[in-house]
Amino acid sequence: MNIIVAGCGKIGKAVIATLCSEGHDVTLLDKNADLINEMTNIYDVIGVCGNCADCETLEEAAIDKAELFICVTGSDEMNMLSCFIAKKMGAKHTVARIRNPEYNDRSLGFMRQQLDLSMSINPELLVAQELYNILKLPSAFKVEYFSRRNLEMIEVKLKNDSPLCGKKLSKLREKQNVEFLIGAVLRGDRVIIPDGSFELAAGDEISIAAAPADMQKLLKGLGILKKQARSVMILGGSKTAYYLSKMLLASGNEVKIIEKDTARCEQLSELLPKAVLIGGDGSQQELLLEEGLRSLDAFVALTGMDEENILISIFASNQNVPKVISKVNRDEMAKMAENLGLDCIVSTKSITSDIILRYTRALNNSLGSSIETLYKIMNGKVEALEFKVLNDSKLLGVPIKDLTIKPGILIAGIIRAGKKTIIPKGDDVILQGDRVIILSAEYRISNLADILR
Residues 300 and 192 in one domain: no
Residues 316 and 357 in one domain: no
In a domain, 175, yes or no: yes
Residues 10 and 108 in one domain: yes
Whether the model clears a pTM of 0.85, i.e. scores above it, the answer is yes
Residues 36 and 115 in one domain: yes
Residues 355 and 440 in one domain: yes
CATH number, domain of 10, equals: 3.40.50.720
Please state, in angstroms and rounded to a whole number, the distance separating the CA atoms of residues 375 and 351: 8
Please state, in angstroms and rounded to a whole number, the distance separating the CA atoms of residues 126 and 14: 15
Residues 6 and 103 in one domain: yes
Continuous H helices in 251-284: 262-271
Which one, of 363, 390, 359, lies nearest residue 373 by Cα? 359
CATH number, domain of 171, equals: 3.30.70.1450
- Listed in sequence order, the residues at least 6 apart from 63 whose beta carbon sits closer than 8 Å to its beta carbon are 4, 69, 86, 89, 90, 91
In a domain, 126, yes or no: no
pLDDT of residue 423: 95
DSSP 452: B
In a domain, 328, yes or no: no
Residues 12 and 61 in one domain: yes
Choose one of 73, 89, 121: the last residue of a domain. 121
- Listed in sequence order, the residues at least 6 apart from 254 whose beta carbon sits closer than 8 Å to its beta carbon are 230, 231, 232, 276
In angstroms, what CA-CA distances link 358 with 19, 53, 103, 386, 388? 11, 26, 24, 10, 13
Q: What is the pLDDT of residues 200-219, one digit of tens each?
A: 999 999 999 999 999 999 99
User: With 0-12 CB in 10 A as exposed, 13-18 as middle and 19+ as buried, what is 363?
Assistant: middle
pLDDT of residue 148: 84
Structural domain count of the chain:
4
pLDDT of residue 260: 94
Residues 217 and 237 in one domain: no
In a domain, 332, yes or no: no
**Contact status, residue 210 vs residue 216, Cβ threshold 8 Å:** no
- Listed in sequence order, the residues at least 6 apart from 331 whose beta carbon sits closer than 8 Å to its beta carbon are none
Residues 210 and 191 in one domain: yes
* Per-residue confidence in pLDDT tens, the chain, 453 aa: 999 999 999 999 999 999 999 999 999 999 999 999 999 999 999 999 999 999 999 999 999 999 999 999 999 999 999 999 999 999 999 999 998 887 766 677 777 788 889 889 999 999 999 999 999 999 999 999 998 889 999 999 998 999 999 999 999 988 898 999 999 999 998 999 999 999 999 999 999 999 999 999 999 999 999 988 999 999 999 999 999 999 999 999 999 999 999 999 999 999 999 999 999 999 999 999 999 999 999 999 999 999 999 999 999 999 999 999 999 988 889 889 988 889 899 999 889 998 998 888 888 765 456 788 889 999 889 999 999 888 767 889 999 999 999 999 999 999 998 678 999 999 999 999 999 999 999 888 888 889 998
Range of the domain at 170: 137-222
Please state, in angstroms and rounded to a whole number, the distance separating the CA atoms of residues 47 and 209: 42
Q: What is the pLDDT of residues 91-140, one digit of tens each?
A: 999 999 998 887 766 677 777 788 889 889 999 999 999 999 999 999 99
Residue 390 CA, chain-centre distance (Å), reads: 26
Choose one of 299, 321, 343: the last residue of a domain. 321
* 3-state SS, residue 12: helix
Residues 218 and 261 in one domain: no
Residues 372 and 445 in one domain: yes
pLDDT of residue 114: 83
In a domain, 131, yes or no: no
In a domain, 334, yes or no: no
Partners of 230 in the beta sheet? none
Helix or strand (DSSP H, E) at 300:
strand 298-301
Residues 117 and 148 in one domain: no
Choose one of 191, 222, 253: the last residue of a domain. 222
Please state, in angstroms and rounded to a whole number, the distance separating the CA atoms of residues 134 and 131: 5
In a domain, 240, yes or no: yes
Average pLDDT of the chain?
A: 92
Work out the percent of the chain whose per-residue pLDDT is above 90.
77
In a domain, 184, yes or no: yes
Phi, psi of 280, rounded to the nearest 5 degrees: 175, 170
pLDDT of residue 264: 96
Please state, in angstroms and rounded to a whole number, the distance separating the CA atoms of residues 402 and 61: 49
